[in-house]
Amino acid sequence: MKINRSDILLVAATAPIFIFFTLPIAYLISVSFKTKDDVLSGHFLPTSPTLDNWPAAFEAACLSGFIANSVAVSLLAGALTLLLTLPAAYAVLRLGIGGKWLGDLTLSSYMAPPIVALIPLFYLLKATGLLNTHAGLVMLYGFANIPVAFWLLTPFLRRMPLEIEQAAAVDGAGPFRILVHIVVPIIVPGIVATLIIVSVLAYNEFLFASAFTFSDETRTLPVGISLFQGDRLVNFGQMAAASLAGIAPVYLVALFLQRYLVAGLAHGGLK
């Protein structure tokens, strides 16, 4: 097989990117099989590989429960975000509700540091009885990711052929029926891509989850992993095993749904 100069340049250009994204995962895998002395030695590969960190990570904390909490909360929050954002984005773009500035105002609210909303949200969840509950986190993440979902869905809605909607309107279909029966089936790749992204954002969120959950029954994975850090000693081996177990669901979802994710983000969802 003949290798030309363009292939060599392509490999040279992509190799740093590949190393940048895979090296942390490779190091995490290596640490998960190291003893405490191996971790302190600083070597990349374990000198005496051990499997003890994996069962110990699940015994030291309710790791499976934390992962289940994160998966349930992130999926429900992603569904809530789409349920709220899709009709809102359609109303703003197609029906002109809110004017052209409403979209910009929606995104500007996402620019504020989340820490500024911590105390008001704490008292709001406490007053509504949603503090330390899954429902509280679902509602919080569902509303917080609306600006992201709005701007992810906007290109798909703008690329929708307006003639299709106008033809449906001539046949007597209202805006809600047009959205559900015509727009949604056409932009399915965009909806799936948006659902994946906002769900992953909710899955990885740490600040609000650490402040608003206080028991193993409600804690999510990022908060659970932080519990491996003791007062004087951090068990890096168990923490690495817990981290790998925690990112596995995200990688599996990305692997099985990458067709929708790539096609949706790249082509705007037009069939």
Tokens for 158, please give them: 């703008």
Tokens for 23, please give them: 């090296």
Give the span between the Cα atoms of 158 and 268, in whole angstroms.
Answer: 9
Tokens for 190, please give them: 């965009």
Query: What single-letter DSSP state applies at residue 44?
Result: S
pLDDT, tens digit only, all 271 positions of the chain:
666 777 788 888 888 888 888 888 898 899 889 888 888 777 788 888 888 888 888 887 788 889 999 999 999 999 999 999 999 999 888 888 877 677 777 777 777 788 888 899 999 999 999 999 999 999 999 999 998 898 888 888 888 888 888 888 888 888 888 888 888 888 888 888 899 889 989 999 999 999 999 888 899 988 888 887 665 567 788 888 888 888 888 888 877 877 767 766 665 444 4
pTM for the model: 0.82
Domains of the chain, by residue range, sit at 1-49, 52-267
CA distances from 235 to 48, 54, 65, 165 (A): 17, 12, 20, 58
Give the span between the Cα atoms of 112 and 128, in whole angstroms.
Answer: 24
Give the span between the Cα atoms of 62 and 107, in whole angstroms.
Answer: 37
Contacts 24+ apart (CB under 8 A), 71-75: 71/203, 71/249, 72/134, 73/134, 73/137, 73/138, 73/141, 73/202, 73/203, 73/220, 74/141, 74/199, 74/200, 74/202, 74/203, 75/199
How long a stretch of residues is the chain? 271
Tokens for 71, please give them: 């998966």
Query: What single-letter DSSP state applies at residue 180?
Result: I
pLDDT at site 264: 60
Nearest to 219 by CA among 144, 122, 134: 134
Contacts 24+ apart (CB under 8 A), 107-112: 107/147, 107/150, 107/151, 109/147, 110/147, 110/148
pLDDT at site 2: 64
First-to-final CA distance of the chain? 37
Q: Is 234 helix (H, G, I), strand (E, B) or coil?
A: strand
CATH number of 52-267: 1.10.3720.10
